[in-house]
Amino acid sequence: MKINERTLVQAVHSRQTPIDRCGWLYKRGEVNKSFQKRWCVLKGNLFYYFEKKTSSEPIGVIILEGCRIEVAEHETEMFAFNIDFGCDQQMSAQSQSSTQLRTYVFGTDSQQDMESWMKALSCASYDYLKMIVTELQTKLDDINQLKAKRQSRDCASSGQPAVRVNPFDNEGPDLLDLRSAQSSQSDTGMQFTRRAFAEIHEFYGLKFRDYIQQNKDKHKDESMTKH
């Protein structure tokens, strides 16, 4: 994949996308193996590092896809972690030998900072967001199934015929369904919509808030009836 350097520089200064985390870290050099202090900025799955906080252009940028974030146990100078782009276990020995993949080492002044940075970086990848969205879709499906069962049970207790509901009747053009034609399937079988993550988060948030409020109102009515 070709990457436009100018686009990456523009992205780090864009106000349209928020900064997920920023701060000083120590980066071990590739040639000079000593740790050098760098100002680091995390935006989405892009991890920038600058020579100074006021620098207009980054020294480098790491795309946080296909990597592992792990504690650098061999480092004794400070609290350090690795961004490891090691070869996949399923790759052949020939492809491993022909592919030079780097491991980045960053250090912090405390255990707390190290854990905080590791958590932020681990949650930044596309694969992680895909997993979260898939989990939200599963939970929402469970809630809708539970709601349908309750409606059927209420109809049965009142003597009314059960209403058969077509699950696609409520799907309008704004429905963020991971099983839509816009989704793409990965090797793990998970599917992911191409919509903005903020839009997905808001959609599911409204659904869950509505469900929680309905339960609160129901319990409140039941409590008032008992008293």
Q: Give residue-wise pLDDT tens across range 137-164.
A: 888 888 888 888 887 777 777 766 655 5
Does this model's pTM top 0.75? My answer is: no
Q: Give residue-wise pLDDT tens across range 81-122.
A: 999 987 444 333 443 433 347 899 999 999 999 999 999 999
Q: Give residue-wise pLDDT tens across range 196-221.
A: 555 655 666 666 667 677 777 776 76
Most confident of 41-55, 139-153, 172-186: 41-55
Determine the Cα–Cα distance for residues 65 and 141; give it in Å rounded to an integer: 29
User: b/e for 117-142, b at 16 or more Cβ within 10 A?
Assistant: bbeebeebbbeebbebbbebbeebee
59 touches 138 (CB < 8 A): no
Nearest CA to 11 out of 37, 54, 45, 35 is that of: 45
What are the C-alpha distances in Å from 170 to residues 100, 167, 211? 51, 7, 15
pLDDT of 167 reads: 52
